[in-house]
Structure 1
Amino acid sequence: MVGLSRLPLIATIAAVSAQLQRPLGSPSEDVPDTYQTGNKPLIDTELLQSHISVESLFERAEALYGLAKSSEEQFGHPTRVIGSEGHRRTLEYVASEIDRLGDYYKSWTQPFPAVMGQIFQSRLVLGQSVPESASPMSLTPPTAGKEPVYGDLVLVNNQGCDASDYPEDLSGKVAFVKRGTCSFGAKSELAGKAGAIAAVIFNSNADGLSGTLGVPSPYHVATFGLSGEDAGPVIEKLKAGDVVDSTAFIDSVVNTINTTNLIAQTVGGDPENCVMLGAHSDSVGEGPGINDDGSGSLTLLEVATHLTKFSVKNCVRFAWWAGEEEGLLGSDYYVDTLPEDENQKIRLFMDYDMMGSPNFAYQVYNATNAVNPTGSEQLRDMYVDWYESKGLNYTFIPFDGRSDYDAFIRNGIPGGGIATGAEGIKTKEEELMFGGKAGDWYDPCYHQLCDDVSNVNATAWLINTQLVAHSVATFAASFDDFPKRETAKAAELYEQETLYHGRYLVR
């Protein structure tokens, strides 16, 4: 394997990977004919679960927080955002832990270019007001010269998804565009092509609007999101023919860096039928990300460690994605570059993002076969059956593109997963089901500096790691009752249902 701990800089990984002379996304060695590993007993779910301990999980969490602190000189606080020392050392840690497990796994790296953005300052003035809900879109370019720009506000026709929606007199002015139908990036690009100096996309309801422009375009202009509540009075003035002047200011930067996914696959097990699961190795820039998604990454490490005590009938592939917080970059790259025959070998993908939120709920993605590739619903029901067998409550949450399962579903691979909640508000009913406090976020430290070791709930993390172990053991032993793979089934239906690509709204 390529052990990252042996590499001085993460930027050198691409060169090392090229020397391996193998397709990215594929194992580094041929899989042996035998499907079981040595004389070890066949995987057993109860035995595998019994090896999981909360003490070991928290030892790993303490180590991970120490790695995040290595970014303090660069960022002023602990973080594991891509491009940081904390993330580089996270990758080293994961690789070295897999390396310690000997020849049970073969592992490889998958370097890729990742776009990341930072916003340093911003301000939007509409007429005489400074709307509190104004929020720069992720990956927005700065205003010209990183200075304030001034121009009248122009209401764009319809939802701003066609060039004809943008008035001819938009040059040197600020486009005011309604959310809907097409992506935020497309609206910003069309506004730029029409000559706008900035764009404001307002929500179709009273709520605030925070999203991403996605893949950078040379035509993108500095773009804000705005709540429908703040937009309402402005729309009335514009429709009445009143002039609304505006000032827009964004100081930001959008850069492309190199980072890498890490993949580890069992040497044993049928390579034509692979159980795949993943978590993301990065955090946001604002904090160390011990729950999001240190908890998922470390859960995978713990399960991978104890799996070595058993043999498997189907291969098991673990993935640690980079760039999830920037918009699912690593998982997108992985699936997009998979040859079709390799795609077909993945029988299902399981996503584990945020396993121990402090104000947790046991959440199961509501993946159905009606909208998703066949097998997604059976995976969902496996989680439900396990919670019920333990006498635990659970709740369904939307399968809406907010984590790394997204690329798999779009490319015909059945998927699902569990979570414990992010910035959503716990209901009174959920307080009765899971404890905690109604009216608060599931994770009050979501994407903040306080997402440290103390931010992970021990009970939820242990329970869910045991469930992850069960999910691996179930399918590593048999796919007999699981549907056969189909080709790209339901991808279009799924895409129609999703509004997110990672944590960002995209349209």
Structure 2
Amino acid sequence: MRLQLETLTTAALLLGEAGAIQLPLFQSRPKTQAHLTADRELVSSSAYQGQVKADNLLKRAKELYKIAELGEPEYNHPTRVIGSKGHIGTVDYIYSTIAQLGDYYTITNQSFPAVTGNVFESRLVLGHDVPVSATPMGLTPATENKKPVFAPIVAVSNYGCEESDFPSDVKGAIAFISRGTCPFGTKSELAGKAGAVAAVVYNNEKGSLSGTLGTPTPNHVATWGISDEDASPVLKHLKADEKVDGIAYMNAMVETIQTTNIIAQTTEGDPQNCVMLGGHSDSVTEGPGINDDGSGTLTLLELATLLTQYRVNNCVRFAWWAGEEEGLLGSDYYVSVLTREENLKIRLFMDYDMLASPNFAYQVYNATNAVNPVGSEQLRDLYTEFYADHGLNYTYIPFDGRSDYDAFIRHGIPGGGIATGAEGIKTPEEQKMFGGKAGEWYDPCYHQACDTVSNLNLTAWEWNTKLVAHSVATYARSFEGFPERKKDSVGALAVKEYKYHGPRLVL
């Protein structure tokens, strides 16, 4: 496995502080027209797809797992979470692979501050019960001095979205708050302002509850999510004016580090009309992320390599985002710093996250023009037509902010993508359509240590990589029939608030 750059070695990466790593900007060699165009045909979908092989994808997956093992000494298991040596090695691998392709691409690394967190240990006791569903919220701070706190449990009025919802006796208590209306981070912040020592957000729908507090504030307190079932006995006692005591303990860390997006753009092709696609380079803390999103990362890397054999009419821009698992940090940052002119150059953005789930369904984001930037629906239809043309079933899934397309559509750029499923449950109808097992997660190892090389469905991965190739080739050749970007389409759009901003719930 080669992890070397012309100007940077893996050893140099790993010897530095993870949060301080800054990859150098790759300076491409002077391009010549002869070098770029000689002996290259214009990219075609059929030829490009024909070079996609599952064996080559699997080989890359094995390399990526070895890189994830670099995180094992610090985390006690393989991981590629931002700030870890596993993620630094991933960025190195992506960068060096593209750099070795010569002057076909210009490569930039875009460093930015990212908030990351880790829960080392937590305990929650409500009355006499230990709620089995209790899950620390993402980016939760620790309890005071990282020690257990013993306090009464106090119910918060309404949804805990206003200061007036918090009674005076919540000071020094564990705030007990219903899910709903406002973000979890707002509830935790208001609990802290009211003097609570911890907060518990309970689901007002069926099922367990896990999410993230999002951007940290000084007033956030240690916060858990629990299910409606675990909340029920506590609420019963509190409504009867019976005292319920609790114990809350959180040993956690939240810090700001520097991490890096990698962007590779063809030096050839109309730079005013770019087709852009991306996947995220990081995993969760809990595992190596070989499907989530190693599958997307490696699909892009393989296709970027294969594309060098062809000419393109429109520029193609590949992106590997950092910090997706922490709340779409890399893609949010990238779009936020685009000028109006640079925004308009991106004709569409295609998101490729989790393409090889073992209990897969072929899923297409239901991105319609009615509620998204115009062009999103045309991209959606390109995906569905591909599946139909190859006799493959597909299903629509919500376009609800769960992955890196979010910032693009919020800023007027048409978007869409495909996936194969995460923690959702496969239905009996989907079992008939795609095989696999109804009643189980699409990816039983989602956000877990078992998301390894053995967690990949190679058939789904190969077909989806062919579809990604088809999407790239189609728009690299021509945007004929695809809606033009309008100057007034740039800027933050007024869109509804989604329950997700990234893979975790925020509302």
TM-score range, shorter chain: over 0.9
Contact kept? 1:376, 1:416, Cα under 8 Å: yes
Give the structure 2 partner of residue 182 of structure 1. 182
- Give, in whole Å, the separation in 2 of the partners of 1:378 and 1:51: 26
Please report how far the alpha carbon of residue 123 of structure 1 lies from its aligned counterpart in structure 2 after TM superposition.
1.5
CA deviation map 1:398-426 (0-9, x unaligned): 11111111111111111110011111111
Q: Tell me which residue corresponds to 1:305.
A: 305
| Structure 1 residues 2-42: Cα deviation after superposition (integer angstroms, max 9, x where no partner) | 8554781365654845xx9xxxxxxx789999899423211
Runs of 5+ in structure 2 lacking a partner?
A: none
Aligned residues of 1:35 and 1:270 also touching (Cα < 8 A): no
> Counterpart in 1 of 2:207?
207
**Where does residue 127 of structure 2 map in the other structure?**
127
In the alignment, the residues of structure 1 paired with residue 415 and residue 405 of structure 2 have an alpha-carbon distance, to the nearest angstrom, of: 6
Matched position secondary structure for 2:142: coil
1:364, 1:383 within 8 Å by CA — same for their partners in 2? yes
Distance 2:490 2:334 in 1: 19
Cα deviations across residues 349-398 of structure 1 (Å, max 9, x unaligned)? 10101111111111101111111111111110000001011010001111
- Corresponding residue SS for 1:129: coil
User: What's the TM-score once normalised by structure 2's chain length?
Assistant: 0.93
Q: How does 1:60-209 map to 2 (within 5 A)?
A: 60-209=60-209
Higher mean displacement: 312-321 or 153-162: 153-162
Distance 1:29 1:306, change over 3 A: closer
How far off its partner does 1:206 sit?
A: 2.5
Deviations 1:136-155 (A, max 9, x none): 11111111111111222221
Residue in 1 that maps onto 2:293:
293
| Deviation readout 1:69-102 (Å, 9 max, x if unpaired) | 2222222221111111111111111111101111
Contact 2:10 2:89 (8 Å CA) reproduced: no
Aligned partners of 1:375 and 1:483 also within 8 Å: yes
Deviates further, 217-226 or 441-450:
441-450
Once the two structures are superposed, the pairs formed by residues 194-343 of structure 1 within 5 Å of their partners are 194-343=194-343
Distance 2:308 2:418 in 1: 24
Specify the alignment match of 1:8 in structure 2: 12
Find the aligned partners of 2:20 and 2:121 in 1 and give their Cα distance.
33
1:150 alignment partner, SS class = strand
The one-character-per-residue Cα deviations of 1:252-306 (angstroms, maximum 9, x if unpaired) are 1112122100000000111111100001111112221111111111100111111
Cα offset, 1:114, TM superposition: 1.4
Paired residues of 2:280 and 2:321 also in contact (CA < 8 A): yes
Which moves more between the two structures, 76-85 or 213-222? Answer: 76-85
Matched residue SS, 2:469: helix
User: Contact between 1:373 and 1:491, CA under 8 Å: does it hold in 2?
Assistant: no
Q: Is the 8 A contact 2:124 2:134 kept in 1?
A: yes
Secondary structure of the corresponding residue to residue 496 of structure 2? helix
Aligned partners of 1:229, 1:11: CA distance in 2, in Å?
Answer: 40
Specify the alignment match of 1:495 in structure 2. Answer: 496
Tell me the residue number matched to 2:440. 440
Amino acid at match of 1:223: T
In 2, Cα distance between the equivalents of 1:89 and 1:115? Answer: 19
Residues 342-361 of structure 1 aligned to structure 2 (within 5 Å): 342-361=342-361
Aligned residue for 1:372, secondary structure, equals: coil
- Is 1:425 the counterpart of 2:429 in the alignment? no
AA in 1 matched with 2:258:
N
Does the 8 A contact of 1:123 with 1:250 survive in 2? yes
Distance 1:100 1:352 in 2: 23
The secondary structure found in structure 2 opposite 1:291 is coil
Matched residue SS, 1:501? coil
Change (3 A) 1:31 1:384: farther
Deviations 1:465-490 (A, max 9, x none): 00000000011111111111244589
Going from structure 1 to structure 2, the CA distance change for 1:139 and 1:44 (only over 3 Å counts) comes to same
Query: What amino acid is aligned across from residue 331 of structure 2 in structure 1?
Result: S
Deviates more, 1:285-294 or 1:70-79: 70-79
Measure how far apart 1:239 and its partner are: 2.2
Q: Which residue is equivalent to 1:23? A: none
Distance change in 2, residues 1:339/1:3 (3 Å): farther
Residue 477 of structure 1 corresponds to 477
CA distance in 1, matches of 2:29, 2:341: 16
Tell me the number of residue pairs that the alignment of Structure 1 and Structure 2 aligns: 497
Q: Which amino acid aligns with 2:300?
A: L
Cross-structure match for 1:461:
461
| CA displacement, residues 177-206 of structure 1 (integer Å, 9 cap, x when unaligned) | 111111111111111111111111111112
**Equivalent residue runs for 1:408-419 within 5 Å:** 408-419=408-419
Q: Residues 373 and 490 of structure 1 are in contact (CA less than 8 Å); yes or no, is this contact kept in structure 2?
A: no
CA RMSD of aligned residues (A): 2.2
What are the ranges of 5 or more consecutive residues in structure 1 without an aligned counterpart? 21-27
